[in-house]
């Protein structure tokens, strides 16, 4: 057995609403969307306009900074709207599904018989290239780079996270073909990281051409940033790529069938869901078909992703490009008088502020209330308890706030992403929006170093 990496610092948040291990097929959504805002560092240039007929795999837009990287339609039908935000920023390109699923044909080929350039060309042409991202900056990978390694985290440790072993069941062939394609993209190692706490799926354990690594410990042990930090740390000038397991399978399908097939399995979770289950879904689908009639009464927060790093959407919003989970929790729009002075048997606390810390097996219905407002930064040593990297989190945040490029480099900005600081934000006594600060720092570094 390979070495087991033990993550000691972190936190598992005991939320109600974990999905039952039953997979259902979601009804076809009428509308699907591809959202440029899911990708950092995008300057969007439209290819398809409202009224255009598209197939599955037809280009919708591309990144002006990387013209070869295009984003394609997940379904066939008609482009019905291009929704814009401030300064006419494109938020969504919406396609009405004709339910015929007519595919662009990119040709089936064996990736093990192809050269690196041909594999890159096919993945770019199909629109699957955006599933490959890079550290530093967590942007879509540059096809002209040669990464020193590629990482695949085969488990998710976030609150109510989906079980990847269940999701990938029966996908041995497509997963291996995806690995065979990725293997041609690097001269380094493909690190496939699994959870050491239980026997992983044979889809992962029988994969060839990878180095299997075992991780154990609380969240964020499943974060690829933590795994990179322990296995292959990033220094200035280094580039590491990473891919999610279901996206590896999508790459395998591309070479097996020659089509852009981004169907996936997602988990519908959260305390406000009546029947939390797994659903077969297509990337970019509206969540209306799985939440309608399946959530409790009241004002609710719909999240594409998990409660720590997901994005707020509405009940008819669209699944994020990289998300394998939808979470529904209560909104917290209320003020509680002297809430800090009550015993709080039903409240969750990481600092033993309430008596509930004695109930170690209890799961909680937690809402979005901040329990206070943003205040002066308090140096409390709390971040270090949940941040497992060999980085000083508070010092790095301060370096970002004063925009000290040299200090940010010395403190490890190249290794992190905002998701690595999600727990810091959750436990922050100052209610500081840590994740947005980290993203601001990453964007600043990318602009300065480009």
Residue 5 CB: number of other CB atoms within 10 A?
Answer: 18
pLDDT of residue 344: 64
pLDDT tens digits along 248-285? 999 999 999 999 999 999 999 999 999 999 999 999 99
What is the predicted pLDDT for the residue at 370? 85
Structure confidence by residue, pLDDT tens digits, 221-258: 999 999 999 999 999 899 999 999 999 999 999 999 99
Strands 325-330 and 133-135: unpaired
Tell me which DSSP letter residue 272 carries: T
Q: Is the dihedral of CA 450, 183, 245, 285 positive or negative?
A: positive
Distance of alpha carbon 410 from alpha carbon 275, whole angstroms? 48
- Dist CA 434 CA 383 (whole Å): 11
pLDDT at position 355 is 59
Higher pLDDT, 375 or 128: 128
* Token code pair at residue 220: 């964020």
How do residues 291-306 score in pLDDT, each as one tens digit?
999 999 999 999 999 9
**At residue 356, does pLDDT exceed 80?**
no
Percent of the chain with pLDDT over 90: 87
Please check the confidence at residue 408 and state whether its pLDDT lies above 70.
yes
Please state, in angstroms and rounded to a whole number, the distance separating the CA atoms of residues 425 and 349: 14
Tokens of 380: 């409390």
Which residues, in sequence order, are CB contacts of 241 under 8 Å at separation 6+? 132, 133, 134, 135, 141, 147, 149, 150, 151, 185, 186
Q: What is the mean pLDDT of the chain?
A: 94
pLDDT tens for each residue of 180-228:
999 999 999 999 999 999 999 999 999 999 999 999 999 999 999 999 9
**Does domain 4-27+112-257 match CATH 3.40.50?**
yes
User: If we measure between CA atoms, which residue out of 41, 9, 7, 12 comes closest to residue 308?
Assistant: 12
Q: Dihedral through CA 79, CA 321, CA 162, CA 420, nearest 10?
A: -160
**Nearest-CA neighbor of 381 among 360, 395, 401?**
395
Cα 12 to Cα 229: distance, rounded to the nearest angstrom: 20
Tokens 């280094």 label which residue? Answer: 238
pLDDT at position 148 over 90: yes
For the chain, domain boundaries: 4-27+112-257, 333-361, 383-449
pLDDT band of residue 337 (cuts 50, 70, 90) is low
270, 20 in Cβ contact below 8 A?
no
pLDDT value of residue 137: 96
In whole angstroms, give the CA distance from residue 263 to residue 249.
Answer: 10
Instruction: Give the other-Cβ count within 10 Å of 3's Cβ.
Output: 10
**pLDDT tens digits for range 89-131:** 999 999 999 999 999 999 999 999 999 999 999 999 999 999 9
């Amino acid at each position: 057995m390979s070495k087991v990496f033990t993550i000691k610092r972190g936190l598992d948040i005991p939320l109600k609403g974990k999905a039952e291990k039953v997979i259902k097929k979601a009804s076809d959504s009428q509308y699907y969307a591809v959202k440029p805002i899911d990708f950092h560092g995008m300057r969007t240039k439209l290819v398809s306009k409202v009224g255009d007929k598209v197939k599955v795999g037809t280009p919708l837009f591309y990144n002006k900074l990387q013209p070869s990287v295009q984003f394609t339609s997940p379904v066939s039908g008609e482009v019905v709207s291009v929704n814009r935000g401030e300064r006419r920023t494109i938020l969504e390109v919406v396609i009405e599904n004709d339910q015929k699923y007519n595919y662009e044909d990119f040709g089936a080929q064996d990736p093990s018989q192809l050269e690196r350039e041909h594999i890159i060309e096919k993945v770019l042409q199909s629109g699957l290239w955006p599933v490959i991202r890079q550290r530093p900056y967590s942007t879509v990978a540059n096809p002209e780079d040669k990464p020193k390694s590629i990482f695949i985290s085969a488990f998710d440790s976030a609150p109510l996270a989906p079980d990847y072993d269940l999701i990938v069941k029966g996908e041995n062939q497509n997963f291996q073909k995806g690995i065979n394609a990725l293997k041609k993209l690097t001269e380094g190692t493909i690190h496939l990281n699994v959870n050491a706490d239980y026997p992983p799926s044979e889809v992962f354990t029988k994969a060839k051409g990878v180095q299997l690594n075992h991780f154990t410990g609380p969240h964020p042990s499943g974060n690829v940033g933590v795994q990179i930090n322990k296995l292959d740390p990033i220094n200035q000038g280094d580039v590491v790529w990473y891919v999610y397991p279901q996206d590896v399978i999508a790459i395998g399908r591309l070479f097996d069938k020659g089509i852009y097939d981004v169907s996936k399995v997602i988990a519908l979770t959260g305390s406000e869901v009546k029947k939390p289950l797994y659903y077969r879904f297509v990337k970019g689908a509206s969540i209306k078909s799985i939440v309608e009639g399946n959530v409790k009464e009241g004002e609710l927060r719909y999240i594409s992703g998990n409660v720590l790093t997901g994005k707020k959407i509405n009940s008819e919003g669209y699944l994020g490009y990289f998300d394998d989970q939808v979470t529904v929790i209560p909104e917290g729009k209320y003020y509680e008088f002297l809430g800090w002075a009550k015993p709080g048997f039903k409240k969750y606390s990481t600092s033993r502020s309430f008596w509930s810390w004695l109930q170690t097996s209890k799961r909680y219905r937690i809402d979005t209330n901040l329990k206070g407002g943003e205040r002066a930064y308090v140096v409390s040593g709390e971040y270090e308890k949940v941040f497992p990297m060999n980085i000083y989190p508070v010092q790095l945040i301060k370096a970002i706030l004063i925009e000290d490029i040299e200090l940010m480099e010395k403190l490890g900005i190249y290794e992190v992403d905002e998701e690595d600081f999600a727990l810091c934000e959750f436990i922050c006594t100052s209610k500081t929006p840590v994740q947005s600060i980290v993203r601001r720092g990453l964007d600043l570094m990318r602009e300065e170093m480009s």
